[in-house]
Amino acid sequence: MSDVMESPRRILSQLEVLESEAIYIIREVVAEIERPALMFSGGKDSLVMLHLARKAFAPAAVPMAILHVDTGHNFPEVLDFRDKIVAQYSLNLVVGSVQDAIDRGTVKEEPNGTRNRTQTPVLLETAEKYGFNALLGGARRDEEKARAKERIFSFRDEFGQWDPKKQRPELWNLFNARVHVGESIRVFPLSNWTELDIWEYIAAEGIEVPSIYYAHEREVFERNGMLFAANEFCRPMAAEPTFVESVRYRTVGDATLTAAVRSQADTVEKVLDEVASTRITERGATRGDDRVSEAAMEDRKKEGYF
């Protein structure tokens, strides 16, 4: 007992607790599920998740495939960054392409040209093709009110659908990974992280993220109170004048739907300050897709979205 007295507290910081919890969850997936894959968009949350997966199995390689659902509506900086990371860590990258699926006729382009919803059938199709029965996602409960309700191991039926009224009880950290053939599990190791935790961790671990997360000058225009980049995916209408502004992205999604925020934060320290003092949620500030209705996210998740 004497040395227990020397350092009686032995308290971990919240980042250490969250890291340890996420590593435990990722290891649990690999131990219990035959063919898991890690969903990777090149965005900050998926980069943190990949970093945690590398830590979980070090010095061995990450023992699962990396799955990117490519909407074809990408920020070039993010796609380049994805390829760099894949090469750097010799990852096994699997791509499900929305464009290919549209060309093959397995999914239809949405009338408004956005590809957020078309991601879902492509995700399910790709998972089925490769036999992935567990998909690790970087979604966080603080992002959105339907996500706030989801289990860490989230059961999906044969159609990939989430039923919020029939979630399995999830006690302690004893996760139930059992599924029948055709069913699957989505696993969210970052469930308990907030946007601020993510940035504190990025800063503490020196994790590199795509340049669009830091302030830079960009030609933008205003729509629905949000700033969109003027580019091939998003063309301003006549009444939407463009201007150059110092902006950064808080999330990275379908480029036709993801807005930038005004920012001067060009270093990780400045981003941390900005995130700590912001009064608007990251999806509220930047996502056109959540503005469709109050329950837009819940409805998408019921269709199989992550």
- Smallest distance from the beta carbon of 51 to another protein, in angstroms? 9
Exactly one of 242, 281, 292, 303 binds another protein (CB under 8 A); that residue is 281
Exactly one of 105, 111, 131, 169 binds another protein (CB under 8 A); that residue is 169
Q: How far is CA 158 from CA 127, 142, 198, 239, 303, in A?
A: 12, 27, 32, 46, 11
Considering the complex, state which of residue 125 and residue 298 has its C-beta at the smaller distance from another protein: 298
- Smallest distance from the beta carbon of 218 to another protein, in angstroms? 23
Instruction: Say whether residue 61 binds another protein (CB under 8 A).
Output: yes
Considering the complex, state which of residue 153 and residue 233 has its C-beta at the smaller distance from another protein: 153
| Look-up of token digits 């968009």 | 41
Instruction: Say whether residue 4 binds another protein (CB under 8 A).
Output: yes
Instruction: Say whether residue 34 binds another protein (CB under 8 A).
Output: no
- Smallest distance from the beta carbon of 128 to another protein, in angstroms? 19
State phi, psi for 36 to the nearest 5 degrees.
Answer: -90, 160
Report the candidate in 15, 39, 27 with the shortest Cα–Cα distance to residue 160: 39
Instruction: Say whether residue 179 binds another protein (CB under 8 A).
Output: yes
Considering the complex, state which of residue 111 and residue 225 has its C-beta at the smaller distance from another protein: 225
Instruction: Say whether residue 145 binds another protein (CB under 8 A).
Output: yes
Considering the complex, state which of residue 53 and residue 107 has its C-beta at the smaller distance from another protein: 53
DSSP 44-63: HHHHHHHHHHHHHHTTSPP-
State phi, psi for 152 to the nearest 5 degrees.
Answer: -70, -45
Instruction: Say whether residue 141 binds another protein (CB under 8 A).
Output: yes
Instruction: Say whether residue 285 binds another protein (CB under 8 A).
Output: yes
Exactly one of 97, 99, 161, 176 binds another protein (CB under 8 A); that residue is 176
Which value, in Å, is the radius of gyration of the alpha carbons in the chain?
Answer: 20
Cα(137)–Cα(109) distance, integer angstroms:
24
Instruction: Say whether residue 181 binds another protein (CB under 8 A).
Output: no
Cα(151)–Cα(167) distance, integer angstroms:
7
- E strands within the chain? 36-39, 65-70, 93-97, 134-136, 153-156, 184-187, 216-223, 226-229, 242-248, 261-262
Considering the complex, state which of residue 161 and residue 278 has its C-beta at the smaller distance from another protein: 278
Instruction: Say whether residue 5 binds another protein (CB under 8 A).
Output: no
Cα(295)–Cα(288) distance, integer angstroms:
13
Report the candidate in 211, 245, 256, 18 with the shortest Cα–Cα distance to residue 114: 256
Instruction: Say whether residue 159 binds another protein (CB under 8 A).
Output: no
Bridge partner residues of 135 (DSSP): 37, 186
Exactly one of 105, 131, 172, 224 binds another protein (CB under 8 A); that residue is 172
Q: Are the CB atoms for 215 and 248 separated by under 8 Å? A: yes
Instruction: Say whether residue 165 binds another protein (CB under 8 A).
Output: yes
Instruction: Say whether residue 170 binds another protein (CB under 8 A).
Output: yes
- Smallest distance from the beta carbon of 206 to another protein, in angstroms? 11
Residues that bind another protein (CB under 8 A): 4, 8-14, 16-17, 19-21, 23-24, 27-28, 30-32, 54-61, 141-142, 144-146, 148-149, 151, 164-165, 167-174, 176, 178-180, 191-192, 194, 196, 278-281, 284-285, 294-295, 298
